[in-house]
C-alpha cells in the first residue's frame, strides 16, 4: 500500500494578513451634491429635503461645483491623478433609507486614481517598510457619490416597535477612498487612517468627525500562506466607528481566519460587523445574498469634465500638507521630529505654534514647553490641545519670560498649574485661564536683588568648603551644585541668570 507524503502542517506564523480599506468622507459643502438643500448635521429630522434628495420621480440632479472641487482637492492631497473625464453611475439596491432605489456613485470611470499615503512603520520591517521607516500604501481610486439617509432605531417615543427614517443625510456629498490591499496589520491600518484623516483635515474639505459619521471605514481582511501571490478570500467588516475599533476588529478577524483555516475550515466571502463590547466580529450577510448593483451610467448627468485649467486652479488651493510641514518645521525651528509630529496634529495647532514660535525669542524653547509642560497637563485633564487653557501665545510668552530670566523653571510650572487649576475643578467644562492673565495676577516674585543674591551665594560658599576646593581644583561641573543650592535657598525664586553670574564671579 502506497502512503502519501503529508505536506508539513502550516502554523499560525505561516500566514500573512492582507487588508484593504474603503473610507467614506463627507464633504463640508454648504449644500448637497445634487440639490440646493443645506448640507448640515443635527437639523430637525427631514427638514433639509426637497424632491431631488427625496428621490421624487421626475426631479433632476444638478451637480454641485464646490463638491467636485472639494473631491478633487482631496484627491490631489492624496497624490491621486484626477481624470479629465469621469462618469456618474447608478448603483441600484433597495434600502429603506434610500428612497430612489439607487445611489448615484461612480463606477468604472472614477474621479481620481493611482494615489498613495506614506505611513510610518519600523525601519526595514518585514511588510515593506523602507530604511527610513516609511511604507507607501497605494490608493486605488477616489470617487464621488451621494450619501443615503439614516434609519433611527432609538431615541423617540415608539422606537421599541418602530424604526424611523431621517432623510436629511440623503445627497450629502461623499468621497470614497479605496486603498490597495497593501496593509498587513491592524496597526498599519490605524496608522493609514490617522494619516488619511490628518491630510483630509488639512485640506479643509471635511471635519473628519467619526462620531457624526463624517468619516466611516470598512475594512477588508484576508489571510494567505506567506509567499503566495494570490489573495485569500476576504471578509468585509462594515462601519466600524473609531480607528481604535478598526484596529481591534482587524486583529480579531485575522486571528479568526487563521484559526478557521488551521482547523480545516475555509473563509467565506461575507460582510461582518464588529461588536466592540465583545471584541468580536459577527457575520451579517454572505456575499451570495449580496446585491448585484446593476451599475449603469446615470442618464440625468453629463460626464464630469475637470479639465487641465480647472485642475490647476484647484491645485493652487492645496495647503502645505502635514508631512511637508513637519519636515519644514524641523528644519526651521530646530525641533525634533517627535515635536513636529505633535505640533502638526491639526492645521490650527500648527498655525498657532508657528506664530508663537516666530514671535518668541527661542522657538525650540516654545516646542519644549509644549511637550514638557502642556501635553502632560492636557492629557491629565482629558483635553485635546485645541481645548488648552494655555494658548500658543501664552506658551510663547512663558518661554520668553524664562528665556529672559524673569521667571524660573519652577515658577513657570507653578503658573501652568494655576492655569489648569480651573479645568481640574470644574465639572461643567470650565476652560481654566490663559498664561498672560495668570502671570499678570500672580507676578511671581523673582529675586533679582543683586545684594540679596550675593549674600546667599556667600552663605552657600561658606557652607560648602569641600565643593569649593573641588571646583578650584578644576572640577567646573561643581558650578551646577552651587547654583542649585542657591535656588534651593530661595525656593526657586532667584533669577537664574544672576545666580550664575554671581557664583561664577565669586568662585573664579
Ligand atoms: P469589492 O468589489 O468586493 O468591493 P474591491 O475589489 O472593490 O472589492 O476591493 C474593495 C477593497 O478591498 C479594496 O480596498 C481592496 O484593496 C480590498 N481587497 C480586495 N481583495 C482583498 C482581499 N482578498 N483581501 C483583503 N483586501 C482585499
Ligand atoms: Mg467595494
Ligand atoms: Zn434636496
Look up the CATH number of the domain holding residue 464.
Answer: 1.10.10.410
Identify each DSSP E strand in 191-343 by its residue range. 215-225, 235-240, 270-275, 280-286, 296-297, 304-305
Contact by Cβ (8 Å): 115, 78: yes
Element (H, E) at 489: helix 478-489
- 139 is written with which cell numbers? 490608493
- In this structure, the answer to whether residues 456 and 414 fall within a common structural domain is no
- In this structure, the answer to whether residues 268 and 302 fall within a common structural domain is yes
- 44 is written with which cell numbers? 430637525
Residues sharing a CB contact under 8 Å with residue 310, sequence separation 6 or more, in sequence order: none
Q: Which ligand is nearest to the CA of 137?
A: 1
Contact by Cβ (8 Å): 29, 39: yes
CA of residue 87 to ligand 1 center, whole Å:
21
Separation of alpha carbons 88 and 202, rounded Å:
27
Amino acid 352: pLDDT: 85
Amino acid 36: pLDDT: 96
Q: In testing the pocket of ligand 1, which one of 19, 20, 106, 138 has its CB within 8 Å of the most ligand atoms? A: 20
Q: What is the mean pLDDT of each run of 10 residues along the chain (508 residues)?
A: 68 93 97 96 92 93 98 98 98 92 96 96 80 91 96 84 93 98 95 95 93 92 94 92 93 95 92 90 72 90 97 96 93 88 86 88 90 87 85 92 86 92 63 89 74 86 90 85 85 78 84
Q: Which ligand is nearest to the CA of 178?
A: 1
The answer to whether residue 11 sits within a structural domain is no
Separation of alpha carbons 365 and 399, rounded Å:
6
Identify each DSSP E strand in 241-395 by its residue range. 270-275, 280-286, 296-297, 304-305
| Cα atoms in the 13 Å half-sphere on the side-chain side of 268 | 12
- Percent helix, strand, coil in the chain, to 5, is 40, 20, 40
CA of residue 147 to ligand 3 center, whole Å:
12
- In this structure, the answer to whether residues 377 and 497 fall within a common structural domain is no
Q: Name the domain count of the chain.
A: 3
Contact by Cβ (8 Å): 221, 228: no
Continuous H helices in 17-78 = 65-77
- In this structure, the answer to whether residues 175 and 298 fall within a common structural domain is yes
CA of residue 440 to ligand 3 center, whole Å:
53
The answer to whether residue 115 sits within a structural domain is yes
| Cα atoms in the 13 Å half-sphere on the side-chain side of 17 | 24
- In this structure, the answer to whether residues 418 and 282 fall within a common structural domain is no
pTM over 0.85: no
Q: Is 432 exposed, middle or buried (0-12, 13-18, 19+ CB in 10 A)?
A: buried
The answer to whether residue 486 sits within a structural domain is yes
- In this structure, the answer to whether residues 221 and 203 fall within a common structural domain is yes
Fill in the DSSP letter of residue 81.
Answer: E
Ligand 1 contacts CB of residue 492 (under 6 A) = no
Residues sharing a CB contact under 8 Å with residue 283, sequence separation 6 or more, in sequence order: 270, 271, 272
- 33 is written with which cell numbers? 451634491
> What Rg value do the Cα atoms of the chain yield, rounded?
30
Separation of alpha carbons 327 and 191, rounded Å:
18
CA of residue 181 to ligand 1 center, whole Å:
7
The answer to whether residue 101 sits within a structural domain is yes
Q: Ligand 1, atom 8: nearest CA belongs to which residue?
A: 220
The answer to whether residue 12 sits within a structural domain is no
Contact by Cβ (8 Å): 186, 251: yes
Amino acid 495: pLDDT: 77
- In this structure, the answer to whether residues 152 and 297 fall within a common structural domain is yes
Contact by Cβ (8 Å): 135, 183: no
Q: In testing the pocket of ligand 1, which one of 234, 249, 293 has its CB within 8 Å of the most ligand atoms? A: 234
CA of residue 182 to ligand 1 center, whole Å:
10
- In this structure, the answer to whether residues 428 and 471 fall within a common structural domain is no
- 340 is written with which cell numbers? 513636529
CA of residue 261 to ligand 2 center, whole Å:
24
CA of residue 179 to ligand 1 center, whole Å:
8
CA of residue 22 to ligand 2 center, whole Å:
7
The answer to whether residue 10 sits within a structural domain is no
Amino acid 181: pLDDT: 97
Amino acid 287: pLDDT: 62
Separation of alpha carbons 338 and 345, rounded Å:
11
Instruction: Give the atom of ligand 1 at the shortest distance from the alpha carbon of 178.
Output: 14
Amino acid 288: pLDDT: 55
Q: Which ligand is nearest to the CA of 21?
A: 1
Element (H, E) at 212: none
CA of residue 37 to ligand 3 center, whole Å:
4
The answer to whether residue 3 sits within a structural domain is no
Q: Which ligand is nearest to the CA of 18?
A: 1
The answer to whether residue 127 sits within a structural domain is yes
Ligand 1 contacts CB of residue 232 (under 6 A) = yes
- 127 is written with which cell numbers? 511588510
- In this structure, the answer to whether residues 346 and 225 fall within a common structural domain is no
Element (H, E) at 432: none
Amino acid 322: pLDDT: 93
How far from the centroid of its chain's Cα atoms is residue 396's Cα? 25
Fill in the DSSP letter of residue 447.
Answer: B
Closest alpha carbon to 51 in 165, 170, 164, 152 = 170
Ligand 1 contacts CB of residue 323 (under 6 A) = no
Listed as own residue / partner, the contacts of 470-479 with beta carbons closer than 8 Å and 24 or more positions apart are 471/507, 472/507, 479/503, 479/504, 479/507
- In this structure, the answer to whether residues 328 and 303 fall within a common structural domain is no
Instruction: Give the atom of ligand 1 at the shortest distance from the alpha carbon of 236.
Output: 12
CB-based neighbours (< 5 A) of ligand 3, an ion: 35, 37, 50, 52-53
| Domain closes at, from 413, 442, 471 | 442
Q: Ligand 1, atom 5: nearest CA belongs to which residue?
A: 178
Instruction: Give the atom of ligand 1 at the shortest distance from the alpha carbon of 181.
Output: 16
Q: Tell me which residue range forms the domain holding 407.
A: 322-442
Amino acid 34: pLDDT: 97
What phi and psi values does residue 8 have, to the nearest 5 degrees? -60, 135
Amino acid 431: pLDDT: 74
Residue 79, sorted as left (phi over 0), alpha (psi -120 to 50) or beta, turns out to be: left
Amino acid 370: pLDDT: 87
Amino acid at each position: 500500500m502506497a502512503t502519501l507524503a503529508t505536506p508539513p502542517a502550516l502554523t499560525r506564523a505561516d500566514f500573512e494578513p492582507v487588508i484593504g480599506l474603503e473610507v467614506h468622507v463627507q464633504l463640508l459643502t454648504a449644500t448637497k451634491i445634487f440639490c440646493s438643500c443645506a448640507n448640515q448635521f443635527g437639523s430637525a429630522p427631514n427638514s433639509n429635503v426637497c424632491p431631488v434628495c427625496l428621490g421624487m420621480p421626475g426631479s433632476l440632479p444638478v451637480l454641485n461645483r464646490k463638491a467636485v472641487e472639494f473631491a478633487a482637492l482631496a484627491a490631489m492631497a492624496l497624490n491621486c491623478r484626477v481624470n479629465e473625464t469621469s462618469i456618474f453611475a447608478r448603483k441600484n439596491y433597495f434600502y429603506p433609507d434610500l428612497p430612489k432605489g439607487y445611489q448615484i456613485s461612480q463606477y468604472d470611470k472614477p474621479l481620481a486614481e493611482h494615489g498613495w499615503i506614506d505611513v510610518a512603520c519600523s525601519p526595514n520591517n518585514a511588510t515593506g517598510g523602507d530604511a527610513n521607516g516609511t511604507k507607501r500604501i497605494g490608493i486605488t481610486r477616489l470617487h464621488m457619490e451621494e450619501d443615503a439617509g439614516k434609519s433611527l432605531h432609538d431615541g423617540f417615543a415608539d422606537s421599541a416597535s418602530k424604526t424611523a427614517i431621517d432623510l436629511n443625510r440623503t445627497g450629502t456629498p461623499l468621497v470614497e477612498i479605496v486603498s490597495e490591499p497593501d496593509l498587513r496589520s491592524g496597526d498599519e491600518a490605524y496608522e493609514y487612517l490617522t494619516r488619511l484623516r490628518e491630510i483630509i483635515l488639512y485640506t479643509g474639505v471635511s471635519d473628519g468627525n467619526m462620531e457624526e459619521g463624517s468619516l466611516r471605514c470598512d475594512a477588508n481582511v484576508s489571510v494567505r500562506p506567506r509567499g503566495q501571490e494570490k489573495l485569500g478570500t476576504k471578509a468585509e467588516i462594515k462601519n466600524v466607528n473609531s480607528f481604535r475599533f478598526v484596529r481591534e476588529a482587524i486583529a480579531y478577524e485575522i486571528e479568526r481566519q487563521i484559526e478557521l483555516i488551521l482547523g480545516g475550515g475555509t473563509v467565506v466571502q461575507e460582510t461582518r460587523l464588529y461588536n466592540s463590547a465583545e471584541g468580536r466580529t459577527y457575520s451579517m450577510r454572505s456575499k451570495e445574498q449580496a446585491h448585484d448593483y446593476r451599475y449603469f451610467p446615470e442618464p440625468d448627468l453629463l460626464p464630469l469634465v475637470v479639465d487641465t485649467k480647472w485642475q490647476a486652479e484647484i491645485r493652487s488651493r492645496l495647503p502645505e500638507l502635514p508631512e511637508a510641514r513637519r519636515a519644514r518645521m524641523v528644519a526651521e525651528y530646530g525641533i525634533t521630529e517627535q515635536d513636529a509630529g505633535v505640533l502638526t496634529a491639526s492645521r490650527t495647532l500648527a498655525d498657532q505654534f508657528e506664530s508663537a514660535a516666530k514671535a518668541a525669542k527661542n522657538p525650540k524653547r516654545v516646542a519644549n514647553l509644549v511637550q514638557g509642560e502642556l501635553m502632560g497637563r492636557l492629557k491629565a485633564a482629558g483635553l485635546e490641545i485645541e481645548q488648552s487653557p494655555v494658548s500658543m501665545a501664552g506658551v510663547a510668552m512663558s518661554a520668553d519670560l524664562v528665556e529672559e530670566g524673569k521667571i524660573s523653571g519652577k515658577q513657570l510650572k507653578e503658573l501652568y498649574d494655576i492655569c489648569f487649576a480651573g479645568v481640574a475643578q470644574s465639572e461643567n467644562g470650565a476652560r481654566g485661564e490663559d498664561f498672560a492673565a495668570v502671570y499678570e495676577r500672580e507676578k511671581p516674585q523673582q529675586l533679582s536683588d543683586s545684594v540679596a543674591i550675593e549674600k546667599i551665594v556667600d552663605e552657600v560658599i561658606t557652607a560648602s568648603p569641600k565643593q569649593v576646593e573641588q571646583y578650584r581644583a578644576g572640577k567646573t561641573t561643581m558650578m551646577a551644585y552651587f547654583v542649585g543650592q542657591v535656588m534651593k535657598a530661595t525656593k526657586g525664586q532667584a533669577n537664574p541668570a544672576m545666580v550664575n553670574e554671581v557664583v561664577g564671579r565669586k568662585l573664579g
